[in-house]
A and B are shown apart, each in its own frame.
Chain A
């Protein structure tokens, strides 16, 4: 078909072929010579610690779990907090704060990474250390002492920018009467939020949780820009480790085996999300010829 042909070709070429290619490369010892040399399951054996094991894998796995488990609540709770606060304000003030928290998503990754790397720079030239110096406090080596916290916050606030928008537009659709009725009954702000707003946000909260779970599990670009996975692998997550294996140490085969596992985890998660949410509800029908 004329209309769907081009998109199908590109999607097959840049999504399906790469997945198959990743699977294939995962079974080779591909290195900087770029020769196809099949080595069976050696890469996976190494990964799972059979025979010659990779001592970094457990650390990377734990990092990935800590990072995802940290950034996800920051995104959902932060997103809820900011959307609810901004929707309970004067409309102009609300728009201002939503715009403020949307900026991270509109900034290029390199600039957002630079902003964090500079703000938390360990000398007095960094923003927060400059403020501390001005207040007469000693400097803190943020990126060495709390690298994971900073990486989680930098990514969490990116998540917040999307979650907050989605939650805000959902709050905007809540009929005013619900909130008014609760207020007339003498509900406090906190009670309105807890008993009226949050229960009505169940569906968006679920969607955003699923969405960001996958997004954080696969993300590495911002970590790469802010800490580079350091110091001493403290923020090296699974996908970043795969990237480093392939493009820094030229062990493409091993990197591909790491990615293969990640793709499998992604597919399982997608199936789980599809089962839980149902396809029908995600699709609004277009104007179809009858």
Chain B
């Protein structure tokens, strides 16, 4: 009997904590798909009129763009960052997993330390850095700066995948006379395909999410989804339904990718159970 009461209490407490969130998420969906004057909580009609940005241009203040242009920029930004992170982390992750050299542990610890210090506080210096090398206000340059933030943990993710490959594969290739680089390129890369995908998603996702870098380092005329939503939020009259619909389109791809990424993240000892026991 007591156990029964306790079980019920557990569900009750959880329901209580999650109630505000559930209502926020549900309210968000109702707002995106609801039409008509919504003074209460429940919309009067259902429909897609909030999604009119799919075929109409978007205007705010004096600015004007289309959702597709912003989405295109977001994709370009995220893919650039994803490719940079993938190439660099797959190289470094291999070396840190397979080659013993002085300072190896230091290098790995350094990555963790760098990940712990959010790079966003160095934005002022990065602004000047990009200005002096002529990359400020350019999408690829800002994407490169954004990619560097995800490299420290990306290296750990890549290393986790290389760690999982048995030694024999590599040894036989080395015996046959392959160089380190050939081993990496011809033997390892095909074997760690899931790792490549995970690291790419890692670099892609956070660039897709990024707001502060694009907002600060790109001119207001180059809109990505995040800065577009933010400038619509900053206007006088806010259409919440419209914004909820726009946010939904923007937030859906990363939500799907996260499901995939979660498994890869568990291989990083700091986040999985391994290093914590």
Q: Does B108 contact A (CB under 8 A)?
A: yes
Q: Chain A interface secondary structure, helix, strand, loop or mixed?
A: helix
Do A289 and B39 contact each other (CB < 8 Å), given the known contacts A110-B226, A131-B23? no
Do A284 and B274 contact each other (CB < 8 Å), given the known contacts A10-B148, A11-B151, A100-B21? yes
Q: Does A53 contact B (CB under 8 A)?
A: no
A218 touches B120 (CB 8 A): yes
A22 touches B125 (CB 8 A): yes
Which B residues contact A (CB, under 8 angstroms)?
2, 6, 9-11, 13-14, 17-18, 21-25, 27-28, 31, 38-41, 84, 87-89, 91-92, 94-101, 105, 107-109, 112-114, 116-129, 131, 144-145, 147-149, 151-152, 155, 159, 162-163, 165, 167, 180-181, 184, 208-209, 211-212, 216, 225-226, 229-230, 233, 240, 243-244, 247, 250-251, 254-255, 258, 266, 269-277
Task: State in angstroms the CA–CA spacing of A21 and B95 once bound together.
Answer: 30
A88 surroundings in chain B (CB, below 8 A):
10
A263 surroundings in chain B (CB, below 8 A):
117, 121-122
Do A262 and B121 contact each other (CB < 8 Å), given the known contacts A7-B155, A21-B129, A108-B208? yes
Q: Does A119 contact B (CB under 8 A)?
A: yes
**Shortest distance between the CB of B174 and any CB in chain A (Å):** 9
B272 touches A169 (CB 8 A): yes
A3 touches B162 (CB 8 A): no
User: Which interface class (under 10, 10 to 19, 20 to 34, 35 or more) fits A?
Assistant: 35 or more
Task: State in angstroms the CA–CA spacing of A165 and B271 once bound together.
Answer: 8
Do A287 and B230 contact each other (CB < 8 Å), given the known contacts A19-B122, A188-B6, A259-B124? no
**Shortest distance between the CB of A255 and any CB in chain B (Å):** 5
Task: State in angstroms the CA–CA spacing of A274 and B105 once bound together.
Answer: 13
A207 touches B270 (CB 8 A): yes
**Shortest distance between the CB of B258 and any CB in chain A (Å):** 4
Q: Give 14 pairs: A residue, B residue, CB < 8 Å, sorted on A.
A: A6-B88, A7-B91, A10-B144, A11-B152, A81-B17, A108-B226, A111-B251, A243-B123, A256-B125, A259-B125, A283-B109, A286-B96, A289-B98, A289-B99
A103 surroundings in chain B (CB, below 8 A):
21, 25, 255
Task: State in angstroms the CA–CA spacing of A37 and B56 once bound together.
Answer: 49
Q: Does A146 contact B (CB under 8 A)?
A: no
Do A283 and B108 contact each other (CB < 8 Å), given the known contacts A15-B119, A82-B17, A85-B10? yes
The 4 A-B pairs at the shortest CB distance, nearest first, are namely A3-B95, A18-B125, A14-B148, A21-B125
A270 surroundings in chain B (CB, below 8 A):
113, 116-117
A224 surroundings in chain B (CB, below 8 A):
212
B129 surroundings in chain A (CB, below 8 A):
13-14, 17-18, 21
Which A residues contact B (CB, under 8 angstroms)?
1-7, 10-11, 13-15, 17-19, 21-22, 25, 34, 78, 81-82, 85-86, 88-89, 93, 97, 100-103, 105-111, 114-115, 117-119, 124-125, 127, 130-131, 133-134, 157, 165-166, 169-170, 172-173, 188-189, 203-204, 207, 211, 214-215, 218-221, 224-225, 239, 242-243, 246-247, 252, 255-256, 259, 262-263, 266, 270, 273-274, 279, 281-284, 286-290
Task: State in angstroms the CA–CA spacing of A133 and B40 once bound together.
Answer: 8
A106 touches B258 (CB 8 A): yes
B270 surroundings in chain A (CB, below 8 A):
207, 282
Do A169 and B152 contact each other (CB < 8 Å), given the known contacts A106-B254, A125-B240? no
A279 touches B105 (CB 8 A): yes
Among A93, A214, A282, point to the contact of B269 (Cβ < 8 A): A282
Among B92, B97, B269, point to the contact of A7 (Cβ < 8 A): B92
| 6 further A-B pairs in the complex, CB-CB below 8 A; given A118-B240, A282-B112, A286-B163 | A109-B209, A114-B247, A127-B24, A189-B9, A225-B211, A286-B159
